Amino acid sequence: MPRKKIIKQEDTGYSFYKRYLEKGIELLDSMSRRHRQVMQTRMDFRYPQEMDSDGSNRDFSIALHGLTKELRREGYDPQYIGRREQKDQPHQHYHLTLMTNAKKNECRQGIIERAERHWGNALGMTRDEIHEKQLVYPCNRDKDGAHRPNGYTLTRGTGNYAKTRSKMIGQMSYLTKHVDEDTTPSTTRKFFVSQFTRSENTATEE
């Protein structure tokens, strides 16, 4: 059996990394067991065209660590699945689905603004510069420019729980899609997943 099994979804025609899609679903269900409401936020991290990159994941790791540390300190219990991707662009970019405890009713825009600040810290730019260039893109438009949700809120005990969960998994699955044209070296990490230990009291990154 291959180390990273790829499965094809017949209704979409896309292929996915089974291991990471399953981990994302486990993460969502774990969050939902601990919190009555779980808010999902989608965003992409990009480099400015004029900036040189060493090709490593260092900048993204710095930003992700800073963002989750801040949110964890404030009780949001942040969990995530992230994906590095690079095709014919000069820089890699990163897709991220972030799930947080929604008890404080923080809006997704607030999460995006925090991410902008931490991405700016990693790149040596101000948050305003990051925002102006949309280097943390909120993923709220489709390829034709039409509005689309960049996340959902799952509330345990409601009638639309299963439907909302399915939408969240569908949005998450995009990050686990197999891309033939991805030029990321095989020795470079592509996936970033936070995962709960058996006690489900502390989170560790795989």
DSSP per residue, 134-155: TSEE---B-TTS-B--S--EEE
Q: What pLDDT is attached to residue 103?
A: 81
For the stretch 68-126, pLDDT in tens is 999 999 999 999 999 998 887 778 999 999 999 998 767 899 999 999 999 999 999 99
Q: Let me know if residue 204 belongs to a domain.
A: no
Return d(Cα 65, Cα 194) in angstroms, integer.
11
Strand partners, 81: 97, 193
Q: How many domains does the chain have?
A: 1
pLDDT the model gives residue 204: 40
Is the residue at 163 inside a domain? yes
β-pairing verdict for 203-205 and 79-85? unpaired
Spans of the chain, pLDDT less than 50: 1-3, 197-206
Residue 137 included in any domain: yes
Task: Give domain status of residue 110, yes or no.
Answer: yes
Contact 179, 88 (CB under 8 A): no
Domain that holds residue 34: 6-197
